[in-house]
Chain A
Amino acid sequence: MENELVPEIHDILKLAREIKKDGQTLNPHSKPELVINDLKDNPTWQGVCKHHHGERFKTFPDKSDLFLLDVADNLASSTSRVLRFGRGERYEIDDSVFRLWKNSSSDIEKGRKLRSLELKEIIEFVAQNPSWDKYREKYNQKLIQQAEDAKLGNNIVSLYTHSKLTGQFYRILKNAGFSILDTELTDRETVSENYKDIVGKWKLTVFKCKVNFSQKPFRVRDLNVLKVREDIINEIQQKFQDNVLFKTSNEILLISNDGMLSDQIEQIIALYGFWLEKVSATSPITGLKPNPLRVIGNKTFNKYQNLVDQINPPICEICQLAPAEYTRIDEKSGVKEELCKYCRQIQEGGERLTKLAKWTYVEDIRTAWLKVSLDFDKLADTLRQLYIEYLKWLDIPDPERKAEIRFSVLFEFQFDYDNFLNQLKEEIVSKFDDENVEQILGDFFCVKIDKLSEIIKILRIYKEFIECYFPKFKETPESPIKLVISCSHVKFPFFEHWRYLKNPEDDVNVMLIGRGKMNIKLKQLGNLLDLKLANKTAIERLARMAETSEELAFMQIFSEEGIKNHPELQEALKKGFNLRDLLTYVKIKSD
Chain B
Amino acid sequence: MEGHADAQTISGIHTTCQFNTKIFYPDGTTPALWSSDALDNADFDADKLSFHADGCAISLNGDGTSYSVKSVTNEASIVNLTVSQAAPGFHVGKDGKSYFGTDLKNPWGSMRHGFWPRCHVEGSIITKAGEIDFKGRGLFIHALQGMKPHHAGIYPCPIACLFYSD
Bind each other: no
